[in-house]
Amino acid sequence: MSQSTQPIAKMAIPALIVVALLFGLFFFSLQEDKPLVPSMRENKPLPPFSSKQLFGQEVISSEELKGDYYLLNFWGSWCPTCYVEHPYLMTLKDQGVRIIGVNYRDTEDKAKSFLERMGDPYEYSFFDPKGKIAIEMGITAAPETFLISPDGKVLFHRIGEMNSQVFEAAFLPLMKSQ
């Protein structure tokens, strides 16, 4: 090898290592199914919030979500993915999973029509037409689902559709391990 090509060869090896490292970093970052927005509510107590109950005048509070595992599901009749996940929520209800709804940015008429057509998996739903509860919980859109422990702590935050794969991989182990 001539003297003039030696410095280039010396530089090439570190440069290749850097490129390989960057490639690896990008590859693994893209592989990981990580939500864009961090879930700030996970592993923290469920914040206090209250609202009128959907289809009623009674005021309900997040304080009531204690003593058992609950799924807190944000939904709306305007949300296409809510139609996709709804049959699975009905299955979970039949299996004895307790689900509380938060009807998000919706109207009572449209919400009623949705539940009449698709079935009602919820013990009851908070009514959140202005998204106040949604912001309190750090929601980005619907559907999103939280797992609440018997002592009122948020164990998990799912952004997107709930299905059997997600429930069995993320929710069920937490419900069994506690």
Please, which residue, 5 or 140, has the CB nearer to another protein?
140
Please tell me whether residue 38 binds another protein under the rule CB under 8 A.
yes
Return d(Cα 178, Cα 72) in angstroms, integer.
Answer: 18
Interface region with another protein, contact rule CB under 8 A, candidates 19-27, 33-41, 51-59, 82-90: 33-41
Please tell me whether residue 46 binds another protein under the rule CB under 8 A.
no
Interface region with another protein, contact rule CB under 8 A, candidates 17-25, 61-69, 131-139, 160-168: 131-139
CB of 96 to another protein, least distance (A): 31
Return d(Cα 171, Cα 155) in angstroms, integer.
Answer: 9
Please tell me whether residue 17 binds another protein under the rule CB under 8 A.
no
Return d(Cα 108, Cα 129) in angstroms, integer.
Answer: 9
DSSP 33: -
Please tell me whether residue 8 binds another protein under the rule CB under 8 A.
no
Q: Are 52 and 129 in contact (CB under 8 A)?
A: no
Return d(Cα 72, Cα 122) in angstroms, integer.
Answer: 9
SS3 call for 105: coil
Q: Contact positions toward another protein, by CB under 8 A?
A: 36-38, 40-41, 105, 130-132, 134-141
